[in-house]
Every structure is written in C-alpha cells, then in structure tokens.
C-alpha cells in the first residue's frame, strides 16, 4: 500500500515560529520505518521543518495517490491536518485518513466530530497499531486493534485500549534519510549546527500536574538496551550529524544506565554533542562528569518554582535545594550551557511567591531561563481538574492551549502573569551578576562562544526572542 505521511504546521499564522522551533518529526519517522519494513511505499512531508505550502502538499498527494494519508499532530497542528486533509479528500476521495500523535491520543472523539473527513485515530504508540489497522482493513475487525478509534456508518467506535510496546528494542530505528535535506538548525529559538533527535527511553514514571507525559504512557518508563541505542548513535554519526537532541522524558532516571551509555560512547569512539533534559533530583555529579566527557553540552532542568509549596502543589517531587544542587553539579562537571524552566501562575500562587521565583532565577548560575505561564493541556491533571470543576470548556480549548490564569478563579489574572513573565526575562537578562557570569562563562567555553556568535543577530532581535518564548 502507499502511505503519505505529513507533519502539518500549526493551524494559525505562526509558521515563522514553527520553522524556528522545528525538529525532525521523530514519531512519524518511527512510523515510516515500520511501514517500509512491512513492504509499504511511503512519502514523508515535514511541513513544519521545510515550510512547504499546502498547495505543494496537495500536488504531491495528487501525484502519489496514496491509499492512506497519515498526519502526526500535537496541539494546534490538528487544525493544519484538518485543513490539508479536506483538500486532499476533495481530489482523492478514496484515500483513508489516519491521525496519530498526542492530540488524537487525548481528543479522538473531538477530532471525528470537528473533522468528518478523518477516518481513523491511533492513540498512543503507533508502531504496532498501524500494522494491526492495515491487517484489519481486510478483515474489517477494527474492534481488535489496540488504540484505534474509527467510524462505521458515521458512528464513532473504539478498538481495544491502547497498549505500550513491550520490547522497544524491536522497533526499527527512525528513518532519518526521509528528512536529510531539511536543515533543522534551531533549538528553542537559538541557532545551532544541524542536529537530529533520539529517544533512548520512552515514558516517565512521575505525574507532575501540568504535564501529560505520564498520561501518555500510564506512568511507565521503558529503556532501550544500551547496545541497541549505541548502534543507532553510530549510524547517526556515520550520517554526518554532529549534534543530537535527546527527546527522552526520563533520560537521567537511571544514573547507572547513563553511565553505561557514556562508557559505550567512549568504547565505540562516538563523537557527538548532546543536549538533554533531566530532573533535578537525578542530577548526579559523577554521571554529569562522564556525560560531559562524552559530549554533553547543554542540559535543561525542570525547576519550575522557587517555592516548595508550589512544587508540592504540582506534585513535582523535587525540592528547591535539589534545583540548586543540580545546577551546581552541572557547573562542576563542566556543562557548557545550563537552562532551567520556570512556571508562573499556579492556582493559589501569590504575588510574593512569584517575586521569590524571579529573584531565585537571577541568582541561579544558569545560562538561560525559560519562563512560562501555567497552561492547561488535555491529558494533564490541571486540565481534568478544571474541566471537572466547570472552569474550562474542553470542546473550546482542546486544539489551542489555554492559560490557567484566564480560567482558574484561584489563579492570579493572566494579564498580570503575562506582564510578570516579560518583567522576569528583562530582570534576569539585565541583572549585573547574571551578565557577569555570562561573560565569564563565554570566555571559558568555546562551545558557548560558537553558540553566542552564531546567534548575534538573534540576540540583537531580543524582542523577537521574547515573542518566541512567550508564544511557546
């Protein structure tokens, strides 16, 4: 069969942001590999990374004439998928449409209602479900497919509950050749050398109230074997990549496993720069040192707040002291660029607590802080709680994020929080000690110098960066 795989841009008018925050569409690249392995013919279009127009996609579709058109969507990408799919269906009414990704995982029924041209939604991990769906097309026994939602005679039906893939070593490596001509060169708005993305493990056992990662995998964490993962890194190096971004939600959960990975990197002579995210309570100094020795350059911590009461409200399971120690350890280990994320606007959070967080950020020895307003997304505790209490109409906001401050009666007003985020960025970047530390680190780190000089234009367009960050 022929499959057209599309990573659509967001439905709105911020394609510029899409291109600047683009990364290879890893989920779709995994699906592509599985389809090819099963003998199917595929085309993949990353509209986000390549900025191709809808018209160009329709032309490709018309020429390729796929049996199945598959979209991967998170958030407002579903709007883009709906828009493109309607046009494709007009030309090719026999192609069947599948939506997969985070959005259909939590919004399948809403998708069918809003977009009548969608035939199937695959919820959760798609590698096994899509193959089962292809088989079911012959038998028509859709009810036996895990994670599938479908329509029969305009009635929405569900298959079996979604299921996690037990042995993730068995999943073929994502097909990077499909996007080899796209230059993904910006991470969080900062220009970098060409990079690719990897997943050494899947899922997360925690359940922070603002995050949907745990709901995606029922609080499950599965790791690939170290050798299986290193085999992929070797291929990536052979393909000419120098930079790798880890998309793991829980890379550092098992410190010993990370040490085995770093040992393997040394033994196999792999030379790649890495970027990763980690929890502050898994920020072991010995592990960081080995990571730095084997190429780790940028680490990103979810610090979220300087107030223990707020961290506890989020059920984050960390302490403020752990954040300080994590940053200290990353510094001691020689990490070139340390980023921490913070959220303002937790329900019941006071103005004083927000002030405390901003002061804390200016003192923390990091290179950059990402500061956001608390947002509700489908699949999170906060979303479910607000829906349950009647603060939020899910049918209105499922495709576009909603700031908690706009809807929650116990939250500070959103306009106040928006101003505070802007003020926080300004105060942090203008803080004399923060600036002095930057200059010092710039002189010490060749990597940081490279990053800094290739981003001079971006730094000059400081307001644009703020916009970008605010939009994210």
Binding flag, residue 199, ligand B12 (CB under 6 A): yes
Binding flag, residue 209, ligand B12 (CB under 6 A): no
In the complex, minimum distance from the CB of residue 365 to ligand B12, in angstroms, rounded to a whole number: 25
Q: Mask of contacts with ligand B12, 127-166, x by CB under 6 A? A: x--x------------------------------------
- Return the residue of 119, 125, 367, 414 that touches ligand B12, per CB under 6 A: 125
Binding flag, residue 102, ligand SF4 (CB under 6 A): no
Q: Mask of contacts with ligand SF4, 288-307, x by CB under 6 A? A: --------------x-----
Helix (H) or strand (E) run with residue 105 in it: helix 102-114
Is residue 41 helix, strand or coil?
Answer: strand
- Return the residue of 66, 278, 378, 405 that touches ligand B12, per CB under 6 A: 378
- Which is closer to ligand SF4, CB of 192 or CB of 214? 214
- Return the residue of 211, 299, 330, 402 that touches ligand B12, per CB under 6 A: 211
Residues from 304 through 323 that contact ligand SF4 (CB under 6 A): none
Partner that binds at residue 397, options ligand B12, ligand SF4, none, CB closer than 5 to 8 Å by kind: none
CB 136 within 8 A of CB 112: no
Residue showing tokens 């590698």? 127
Residues from 203 through 262 that contact ligand SF4 (CB under 6 A): 204, 206-208, 211, 213-214, 249
- Which is closer to ligand SF4, CB of 11 or CB of 203? 203
Judged by CB under 6 A, how many residues of this single chain contact ligand B12?
A: 38
Buried b or exposed e, range 326-360, using 16+ CB within 10 angstroms: bbebbeebebbbbbbebbbbbbebeeebbebbbeb
Q: Mask of contacts with ligand B12, 230-269, x by CB under 6 A? A: -----------------x-x--------------------
Is residue 167 helix, strand or coil?
Answer: coil
CB 458 within 8 A of CB 192: no
In the complex, minimum distance from the CB of residue 249 to ligand SF4, in angstroms, rounded to a whole number: 4
The separation between CA 67 and the C-alpha centre of its own chain, rounded to angstroms, equals 29
φ/ψ of 145, rounded to 5, equals -90, 125
Cα separation, 339 vs 368, whole angstroms: 5
- Which is closer to ligand B12, CB of 171 or CB of 326? 171
Binding flag, residue 74, ligand B12 (CB under 6 A): yes
Partner that binds at residue 30, options ligand SF4, ligand B12, none, CB closer than 5 to 8 Å by kind: ligand B12
Q: Exposed, middle or buried, 470 (CB in 10 Å: 0-12/13-18/19+)?
A: middle
Partner that binds at residue 378, options ligand B12, ligand SF4, none, CB closer than 5 to 8 Å by kind: ligand B12
- Which is closer to ligand SF4, CB of 204 or CB of 265? 204
Q: β-strands 375-376, 402-403: how paired?
A: antiparallel
Cα separation, 456 vs 284, whole angstroms: 33
Hey, which residues does 368 pair with through a beta bridge?
Answer: 339
DSSP state of 411: S
What are the C-alpha distances in Å from 106 to residues 57, 75, 162, 213, 220?
27, 10, 11, 12, 17
Binding flag, residue 377, ligand B12 (CB under 6 A): yes
In the complex, minimum distance from the CB of residue 337 to ligand B12, in angstroms, rounded to a whole number: 17
Pick the closest to residue 343 from 369, 381, 312, 368 (CA basis).
Answer: 369
CB 415 within 8 A of CB 409: no
Question: Who contacts 406 (Cβ-Cβ below 8 Å, separation ≥6)?
Answer: 414
φ/ψ of 34, rounded to 5, equals -65, -40
- Return the residue of 4, 32, 42, 72 that touches ligand B12, per CB under 6 A: 72
Instruction: Summarize as ranges the residues that interact with ligand SF4 (CB under 6 A).
Output: 204, 206-208, 211, 213-214, 249, 279, 302
Binding site for ligand B12 (CB under 6 A): 10, 21, 23-28, 30-31, 70, 72, 74-77, 98, 100-102, 106, 122, 125-127, 130, 199, 211-213, 216, 247, 249, 377-379, 401, 472
């Amino acid at each position: 069969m022929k499959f057209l795989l599309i990573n659509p841009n967001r439905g709105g008018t911020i394609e510029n942001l899409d291109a600047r925050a683009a990364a290879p569409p890893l989920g779709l690249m995994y699906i592509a590999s599985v389809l090819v392995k099963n003998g199917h013919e595929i085309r993949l279009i990353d509209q986000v990374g390549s900025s191709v127009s809808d018209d160009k996609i329709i032309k490709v579709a018309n020429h390729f004439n796929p049996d199945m058109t598959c979209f991967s969507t998170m958030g407002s990408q579903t709007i883009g998928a709906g828009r493109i799919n309607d046009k494709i269906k007009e030309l090719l009414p026999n192609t069947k449409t599948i939506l997969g990704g985070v959005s259909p995982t939590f919004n399948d029924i809403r998708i069918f209602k809003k977009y009548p041209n969608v035939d199937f939604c695959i919820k959760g991990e798609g590698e096994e479900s899509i193959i089962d769906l292809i088989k079911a097309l012959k038998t028509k026994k859709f009810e036996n497919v895990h994670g599938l939602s479908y329509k029969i005679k305009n009635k929405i039906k569900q298959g079996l509950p979604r299921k996690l893939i037990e042995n993730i070593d068995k999943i073929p490596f994502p097909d990077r050749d499909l996007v080899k001509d796209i230059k993904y060169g910006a991470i969080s708005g900062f220009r970098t050398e060409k990079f690719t993305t990897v997943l050494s493990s899947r899922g997360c056992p925690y359940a922070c109230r603002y995050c949907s990662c745990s709901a995606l995998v029922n609080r499950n964490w599965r790791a690939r074997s170290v050798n299986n993962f290193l085999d992929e890194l070797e291929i990536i190096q052979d393909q000419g990549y120098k930079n790798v971004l880890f998309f793991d939600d829980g890379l550092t959960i098992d410190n010993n496993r990370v040490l085995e990975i770093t040992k393997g990197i040394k033994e196999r002579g792999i030379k790649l720069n890495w970027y990763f995210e980690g929890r502050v309570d898994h920020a072991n100094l010995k592990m960081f040192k080995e990571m730095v020795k084997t190429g780790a350059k940028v680490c990103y911590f979810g610090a979220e707040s300087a107030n223990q009461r707020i961290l506890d409200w989020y059920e984050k399971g960390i302490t403020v002291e752990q954040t300080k120690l994590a940053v200290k350890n990353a510094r001691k280990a020689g990490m070139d660029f340390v980023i921490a994320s913070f959220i303002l606007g937790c329900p019941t959070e006071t103005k004083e607590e927000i002030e405390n967080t901003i002061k804390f950020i200016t003192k923390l020895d990091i290179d950059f802080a990402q500061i956001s307003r608390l947002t509700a997304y489908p699949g999170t505790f906060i979303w479910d709680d607000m829906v349950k209490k009647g603060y939020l109409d899910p049918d209105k906001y499922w495709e576009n994020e909603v700031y908690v401050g706009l809807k929650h009666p116990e939250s500070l007003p959103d306009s106040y929080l928006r101003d505070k985020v802007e003020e926080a960025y300004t105060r942090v970047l203008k803080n004399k000690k923060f600036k002095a530390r930057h200059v010092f680190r710039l002189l010490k780190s060749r990597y940081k110098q490279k990053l800094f000089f290739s981003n001079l234009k971006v730094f000059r367009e400081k307001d644009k960066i703020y916009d970008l960050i605010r939009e994210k």
